[in-house]
Structure 1
Amino acid sequence: MSARKVAIIGSCVTREAFITENNPRYKTFYEIGPVGWQTSLVSFMSAPIPEAAASLIEPSESMNAHNTKTMRRDITKADRDEIRAYQPEVLIFDLYSDLRYGYIEYAGAYLTNNSNNLRKTDFFKAGAGFTKSHMVSAQADYLPVFKEKFDAFVQWARTELPNTTLVLNAFRFSSHFRIGGIDFNFVRYVGDTKNDKKWRAILRENDILDELYRWIAENYSIDVIDLRDRAYFADGNHKYGVTPWHFGRPFFEDFIASLNELMMTKRSDAPTVAEVFYRSDGTVL
């Protein structure tokens, strides 16, 4: 059996399931194609930023090549074009960037308000010519836009990726990390109360994620990998830092196991993305 073609729209909570450090044999089963890295679904389904307006968004010296590339792709919506051309068998997505970053509205389009790139630019720091919104601080403004773009995403997949299975990674942020066999709690940061407010915000973000997952389940028939009934530690030795969204290997092993199980149900006669998007009452989305 040949490896299944996989595309991703998301962040490390999904992408790191497909690295050999976490799943040494993943390449036997999955071929990783285009990755919409740290792009929000609001931005992914937006029109590209017009060229003249985009020329005003220049990378700063504090941005490395990877962050610059990520921002450029978000501006041009290259990820969407490449995923369409790739025609993956599976498109896995998560809501990390919609939750953590939010968006800016600029020149009639949307961009991910990414702290790793856009927020470092002189354009963003000048604070003029755009509006911004965030899922946590401005939920009443953000949610209608998110829901509109999510519906557009589902319809886009139906039309442009008719043989693709959509899979939502329904993750939650971890409350603990482990170093040297000792457990530490993000919410009550041991010996460092200055981070209490920061980590307590994680609890609110998890509540919002749960709300979004419920809304999606109530309105769309989409395959979900949901590991929320299990507790996972964040990786206390993660190369990109100890955070509630940098999971340890057990999470990604279970994620791949769940994906493998899901893929086993996708026989040649199984319904495709063009056939399964119905609400629970039988009406077509």
Structure 2
Amino acid sequence: MIYNIAVFGSCASRDNFYSGINPDYKKYFNCSISSQRGSIISLMQEPVSFKNQDIQILPENRVNKAGTQFINQDLTKNFLAEVKKFKPDYILIDNYFEVIFGIIKYENCFITNNYWDLPKTKFHTEIKPYTKINMYNDPNTYLKLYKENMGLFLDYIQKESPNSQIILNPVRLGYKILKDDNKIEVNKNFKSNAKNTNKLLKKVDNILKKQKDVITLKIKKERILDENHEWGLGQVHYTQPYYLNILNQLKQISKNDKSLLSKIYELF
């Protein structure tokens, strides 16, 4: 049986359903709903009005089209409508962008502070001045907002797609890099960033982990980064065993065999 899965988070979750990384995933899962570079806090707000040309990133190329799409998803909140329509078996969530981006508050509105894409748009200029709220500058406020809006999200899922199982992918930044000669090299800048950011990720994750019926994937060992990753070297661009491990855990979850899940061996 092939199960439908939705992803809300980062490439560390979405890449598990990409044939270039997990070639056999389509034997088990269909990932037709995906939203990246967003925040649950933003997701649970009212949709934001905008003109298409105001969020378009130019020149048109693969990267800029993706950036425009991510902004569109964040402002329209269309992930909710898609979940309501397709009612996926599973919803895989990670909090990477909750911590990396945080949110922007302008007027009475919260949107994701997507500082990779938003500054390239006319829309970004039109919403100034705004206030940034994130885990770095105001963790107490951010955690409160996250808890409130995650509660709203879970209530929405319970109402509109009650058979969807929520799964948390506890993403953490890596700093050890697999080199071409198969040796592991520690990147000091990556390590400093990872130590700080991973503590913040853990705090946000703990809120979701405590929610009833949420399953948390088990990543016990360090995440090794791939120098030759398809999307380039990055702190959540891992080596192949990471993705195989995630896929194996999801396969076991789909079989509803918790005893087997607890016996999965870490592959790296």
TM-score by structure 1 length?
0.82
In the alignment, residue 238 of structure 1 is paired with which amino acid?
H
In the alignment, residue 234 of structure 1 is paired with which amino acid?
L
SS of residue paired to 2:177: strand
Q: 1:69 to 1:219 in 2, by over 3 A?
A: closer
Inter-partner Cα distance in structure 2 for 1:90 and 1:219? 16
In the alignment, residue 92 of structure 1 is paired with which amino acid?
L
On the 8 A contact 1:59/1:68 being kept in 2, the answer is yes
TM-aligned CA deviation for residue 137 of structure 1: 2.4
Inter-partner Cα distance in structure 2 for 1:184 and 1:126? 44
Q: 1:74 to 1:208 in 2, by over 3 A?
A: same
Alpha-carbon deviations, 1:143-173, whole Å to 9, x = none?
2111111111111111111111111111211
Q: 1:98 to 1:6 in 2, by over 3 A?
A: same
Aligned to 1:202: 194
TM-aligned CA deviation for residue 199 of structure 1: 4.7
Matched, 1:59 2:51: no
On the 8 A contact 2:6/2:33 being kept in 1, the answer is yes
Q: 1:266 to 1:39 in 2, by over 3 A?
A: farther
Q: 1:226 to 1:171 in 2, by over 3 A?
A: farther
Aligned to 1:184: 185
Aligned to 2:104: 104
Aligned to 1:24: 23
Aligned to 2:118: 118
TM-aligned CA deviation for residue 126 of structure 1: 7.0
Match of 1:252 among 243, 247, 256: 243
SS of residue paired to 1:146: helix
In the alignment, residue 85 of structure 2 is paired with which amino acid?
A
| Structure 2, unpaired ranges of 5+ | 259-268
Range with greater deviation from structure 2 (112-121 or 91-100): 112-121
Residues 108-257 of structure 1: pairs in structure 2 closer than 5 A: 108-124=108-124, 128-180=128-180, 181-186=182-187, 188=188, 196=189, 199-227=191-219, 229-257=220-248
Q: 1:245 to 1:69 in 2, by over 3 A?
A: same
CA-based RMSD of the aligned residues comes to 2.2
Inter-partner Cα distance in structure 1 for 2:73 and 2:196? 30
Inter-partner Cα distance in structure 1 for 2:13 and 2:29? 14
Inter-partner Cα distance in structure 2 for 1:11 and 1:102? 14
Inter-partner Cα distance in structure 2 for 1:28 and 1:219? 30
TM-aligned CA deviation for residue 118 of structure 1: 1.2
Aligned to 2:3: 4
On the 8 A contact 2:57/2:65 being kept in 1, the answer is no
In the alignment, residue 18 of structure 2 is paired with which amino acid?
I
Aligned residue pairs total 253
In the alignment, residue 34 of structure 2 is paired with which amino acid?
V
Q: 1:4 to 1:127 in 2, by over 3 A?
A: closer
In the alignment, residue 47 of structure 1 is paired with which amino acid?
E
Range with greater deviation from structure 2 (258-267 or 168-177): 258-267
On the 8 A contact 1:171/1:226 being kept in 2, the answer is no
Aligned to 1:272: none
In the alignment, residue 184 of structure 2 is paired with which amino acid?
D
